């Protein structure tokens, strides 16, 4: 059985996701971020629209090896936020080298994936194709083999890069070549195939322990599933931030409990992380939250 999926970004404009779903599409990926500061302007609408249409959804980051991989991983995770029970693994889109050598790009990808996976609590998917086989020299690396491949190849018989022996998703058309399906509700876009049943596809969403959505008031001690990051637009703020700040003051750290995660909150967070043997990155994730409230 073959399931049809699409991936979109701002270039497709506004998408009617109900019409997309009615056209036989089962899953969709949306571009979330690029580099260390860019957020796709259509991501928020696509992310919620995919879910509301009943489709399985995933988010991808367009990697830029010209920028810091760890900063980009944090940016990606902070924009996407916590993943739900019908969210596919996040994706690193690797298709440019930004004028860096192949060995540098491979190490860059390794660093990005390691950091992003620590934040999401999920193993990422790698999107690539001829870029891997050409500019990167087709490396055969067990690190990448442990992660699933989303293959980009707009030909009838795709060639799989050396680090993998099969694809999880195959992006077989950009919407024009190689017999794209007619899909209502969206401008011509990339289309992908998944070989398997919908139950098998949905099982990809269950490779982690789901976390709840951001907590309503009152806030308890359970991690809310929201990363506190500075700088970020919009600024991370609300009852969960205030609860975290209050707990920090009770542990003896000086901080204003204003419910806004700004530079002083980040400094206090880094101090707490150093004191408790955590990675001192100023990001309030699951490990930092649980250490504070333990």
pLDDT tens column, 84-109: 889 999 999 999 999 999 999 999 99
Catalytic residue among 93, 117, 190, 281: 93
Confidence of residue 226 (pLDDT cuts 50, 70, 90): confident
87 part of the active site = no
Global pTM reads 0.74
Domain 2-206 belongs to what topology?
A: TIM Barrel (3.20.20)
Structure confidence at residue 207 (pLDDT): 65
Catalytic residue among 7, 40, 87, 190: 7
- Ranking 22-31, 88-97, 113-122, 142-151 by mean pLDDT, the lowest is 113-122
pLDDT at 171 over 90: yes
pLDDT at 154 over 60: yes
Structure confidence at residue 237 (pLDDT): 81
pLDDT at 1 over 90: no
How confident is the model over 19-36, as a mean pLDDT? 97
pLDDT at 213 over 90: no
95 part of the active site = yes
Structure confidence at residue 236 (pLDDT): 82
**Domain ranges across the chain:** 2-206, 212-294
Annotate the chain with three-state secondary structure: CEEEEEEECHHHCCCCHHHHHHCCEEEEEEEEEECCCEECCCHHHHHHHHHHCCCEEEEEEECCCCCCHHHHHHHHHHHHCCCCCCECCCEEECCCCCCCCHHHHHHHHHHHHHHHHHHHCCCCEEEEEHHHHCCCCCCCCHHHHCCCEEEECCCCCCCCCCCCCCCCEEEEECCCCCCCCCCCCCCCCEEEEEECCHHHHHHHHHCCCCCCCCCCCCCCCCCCCCCECCCCCCCCECHHHHHHHHHHHHCCCCCCCCCECCHHHHHHHHHHHHHCCCCCCCCECHHHHHHHHC
Catalytic residue among 95, 141, 174, 202: 95
198 part of the active site = no
Task: Among 1.10.101.10, 3.40.50.2300, 3.30.300.160, 1.10.645.10, name the CATH number for the domain at 212-294.
Answer: 1.10.101.10
Structure confidence at residue 286 (pLDDT): 87
């Amino acid at each position: 059985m073959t399931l049809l999926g699409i991936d979109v970004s701002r270039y497709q404009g506004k998408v009617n996701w109900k019409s997309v779903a009615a056209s036989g599409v089962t899953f969709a990926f949306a571009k979330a971020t690029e580099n260390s500061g860019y957020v796709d302007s259509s991501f928020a609408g696509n992310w919620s629209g995919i879910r509301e249409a009943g489709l399985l959804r995933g988010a991808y980051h367009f990697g830029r090896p010209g920028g810091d991989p760890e900063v980009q991983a944090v940016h990606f995770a902070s924009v996407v936020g916590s993943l739900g029970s019908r969210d596919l693994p996040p994706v690193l889109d690797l298709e440019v080298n930004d004028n860096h050598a192949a060995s540098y790009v491979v190490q860059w990808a390794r660093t990005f994936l390691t950091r992003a996976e620590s934040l999401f609590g999920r193993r990422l998917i790698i999107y690539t194709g001829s870029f891997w086989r050409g500019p990167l020299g087709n490396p055969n690396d067990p690190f990448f083999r442990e992660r699933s491949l989303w293959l980009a190849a707009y030909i009838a018989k795709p060639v799989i890069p050396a680090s993998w022996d099969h694809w999880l998703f195959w992006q077989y058309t950009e919407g024009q070549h190689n017999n794209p399906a007619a899909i209502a509700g969206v401008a011509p876009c990339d289309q992908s195939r998944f070989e398997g049943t919908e139950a098998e596809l949905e099982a990809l969403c269950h490779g982690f322990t789901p976390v709840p959505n951001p907590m309503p008031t009152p806030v308890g001690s359970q991690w809310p599933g929201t990363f506190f990051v500075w700088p970020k637009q919009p600024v991370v703020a609300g009852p969960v931030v205030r609860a975290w700040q209050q707990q920090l003051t009770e542990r003896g750290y000086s901080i204003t409990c204003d419910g806004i995660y700004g530079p002083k909150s980040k400094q206090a967070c880094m101090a707490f992380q150093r004191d408790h043997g955590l990675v001192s990155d100023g990001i309030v994730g699951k490990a930092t939250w649980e250490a504070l409230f333990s």
